[in-house]
């Protein structure tokens, strides 16, 4: 009965169908033009297809043999850790594939609450709220918290999700030059007329591996009555003596008010993000943050994996220390060979090459030698600052690190990037 009605209605709409076909043809034309523009600008991003688990040794479609992987955010190697996988499987068995619901309708399970409590404990904050991703945590925070009476001051190189989150809010917006404390101070002086002032920064910046000067930021924030927000995606789990993040590394855990971070990098690498901070802020986010209110609950398997990753980190900091030692090994050997590595001590090790073509050709030649690294050039990084970004993981062996350095030296000489 229903099917007959459907087809009758569809046939009676046939003339509109022709119009919609021409609209689709027009759309195709526009899209082809856009895609051609991206190709012509040399900014086309292609994806390599991995046919194995994430890890230091992977298999890539179309490439024979194993590949040494140096371009994942798998800083602690927990993406394929046996205990993490087991915890995910157990949660899948016990709590099912998913909730078919948002949190406030019927999508909150006991494991969501205990993971939130664990995250707050890990960061030594009052409370935490989970999101489907950190992109969502950044999209939800500013709009829910700040009004037109308030101001947000943001580092110009903050992650795209912070920029988008800030765009969504109605607060006055100030952008300060990257890591420039004199500029931040000038902007804080201008922003004194507003009710709240929130300084927003990445803890570690993913293109350069450089770290926000949080001690100076917190000092200025205190001087000018501002709050500090830090995105810790490239710090949670591994920066600082016990892996709490940039605020622990720089001794300002009690001065950073709000932390957003991801479960999709060091903490098991599946997906998910969160905000942790004052209890009333987290309560407000549960009432107002749109990506929390209008998107599905985090799947139990993801919650199980992240929860185990945090347990492993809270039990011992051996994995954190192992990653730090391997990072140091790579940086020292590469610098001794004559390469310039940007940033300091971070497992993001950008090998600075300058020329875009050189970076891309060297990355291709590294892959021919079985090493997977990615070249970055304009517009992802400034013109003339092309680089190959290497990311170290705790599960790289010392031999893996040495093989990577040897390949860089060989390829660098071949392309005259080294004498």
Q: Does 244 bind ligand PLP (CB under 6 A)?
A: no
Write the interaction track for ligand PLP spanning residues 276-295; mark x where CB under 6 A is met and - where it is not. Answer: --------------------
Q: Which one of the listed residues 112, 123, 265, 346 is annotated catalytic? A: 265
Q: Which of 69, 79, 161, 307 is close enough to bind ligand PLP by CB under 6 A? A: 161
Q: Which of 165, 240, 268, 273 is close enough to bind ligand PLP by CB under 6 A? A: 273
What's the closest the beta carbon of residue 162 comes to ligand PLP, in angstroms? 7
Backbone angles phi, psi at 395, to 5 degrees: -90, 0
Q: Does 159 bind ligand PLP (CB under 6 A)?
A: yes
193 is catalytic: no
206 is catalytic: yes
Stretch that binds ligand PLP, among 96-104, 133-141, 165-173, 241-249 (CB under 6 A): 133-141
Q: Does 231 bind ligand PLP (CB under 6 A)?
A: yes
- Identify which of residues 231 and 248 has a Cβ nearer to ligand PLP in the complex: 231
Stretch that binds ligand PLP, among 5-13, 76-84, 132-140, 172-180 (CB under 6 A): 132-140
154 is catalytic: no
Stretch that binds ligand PLP, among 26-34, 231-239, 278-286, 361-369 (CB under 6 A): 231-239
Q: Does 229 bind ligand PLP (CB under 6 A)?
A: no
Q: Which one of the listed residues 154, 206, 297, 377 is annotated catalytic? A: 206
What's the closest the beta carbon of residue 11 comes to ligand PLP, in angstroms? 44
Q: Does 74 bind ligand PLP (CB under 6 A)?
A: no
What's the closest the beta carbon of residue 165 comes to ligand PLP, in angstroms? 10
Q: Does 248 bind ligand PLP (CB under 6 A)?
A: no
Q: Does 377 bind ligand PLP (CB under 6 A)?
A: no
Q: How many chain residues interact with ligand PLP (CB under 6 A)?
A: 14
Task: Please report, as ranges, the residues that interact with ligand PLP according to CB under 6 A.
Answer: 133-135, 138, 159, 161, 202, 206, 231, 233-234, 262, 264, 273
The set of catalytic residues is 206, 234, 265
């Amino acid at each position: 009965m229903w099917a007959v009605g459907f087809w009758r209605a569809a046939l009676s709409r046939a003339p509109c169908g022709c119009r919609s076909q021409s609209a689709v043809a027009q759309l195709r034309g526009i899209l082809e033009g856009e895609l051609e523009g991206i190709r012509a600008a040399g900014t086309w991003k292609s994806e390599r297809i991995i046919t194995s688990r994430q890890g230091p040794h992977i298999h890539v479609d179309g490439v024979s043999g194993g590949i040494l992987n140096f371009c994942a955010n798998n800083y602690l190697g927990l993406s394929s850790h046996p205990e993490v996988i087991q915890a995910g499987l157990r949660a899948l068995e016990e709590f099912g594939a998913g909730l078919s619901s948002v949190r406030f309708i019927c999508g909150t399970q006991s494991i969501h609450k205990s993971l939130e409590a664990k995250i707050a404990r890990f960061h030594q904050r009052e409370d935490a709220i989970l999101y489907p991703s950190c992109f969502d945590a950044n999209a939800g925070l500013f709009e829910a918290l700040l009004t037109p009476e308030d101001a947000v001051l943001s580092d110009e190189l903050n992650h795209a999700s912070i920029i988008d989150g800030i765009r969504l809010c109605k607060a006055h917006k100030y952008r300060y030059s990257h890591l420039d404390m004199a500029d931040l101070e000038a902007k804080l002086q201008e922003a004194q007329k507003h009710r709240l002032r929130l300084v927003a920064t990445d803890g570690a910046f993913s293109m350069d591996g450089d770290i926000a000067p949080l001690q100076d930021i917190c000092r200025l924030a205190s001087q000018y009555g501002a709050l500090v927000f830090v995105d810790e995606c490239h710090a949670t789990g591994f920066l600082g003596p016990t892996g709490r993040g940039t605020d622990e590394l720089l001794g300002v855990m009690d001065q950073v008010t709000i932390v957003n971070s991801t479960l999709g990098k060091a903490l098991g690498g599946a997906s998910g993000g969160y905000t942790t901070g004052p209890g009333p802020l987290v309560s407000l986010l549960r009432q107002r943050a749109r990506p929390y209110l209008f998107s599905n609950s985090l799947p139990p398997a993801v919650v199980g994996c992240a929860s185990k990753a945090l347990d492993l980190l809270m039990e011992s900091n051996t994995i954190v220390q192992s990653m730090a030692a391997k990072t140091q090994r790579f940086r020292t050997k590469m610098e001794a060979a004559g390469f310039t590595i940007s940033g300091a001590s971070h497992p993001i090790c950008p090998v600075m090459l300058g020329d875009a073509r050189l970076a891309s050709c060297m990355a291709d030649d590294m892959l021919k030698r079985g090493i997977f690294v990615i070249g970055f050039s304009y517009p992802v990084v400034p013109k003339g600052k092309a680089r190959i970004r290497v990311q170290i993981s705790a599960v790289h062996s010392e031999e893996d690190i040495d093989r990577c350095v040897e390949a860089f030296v060989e390829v660098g000489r071949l392309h005259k990037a080294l004498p």
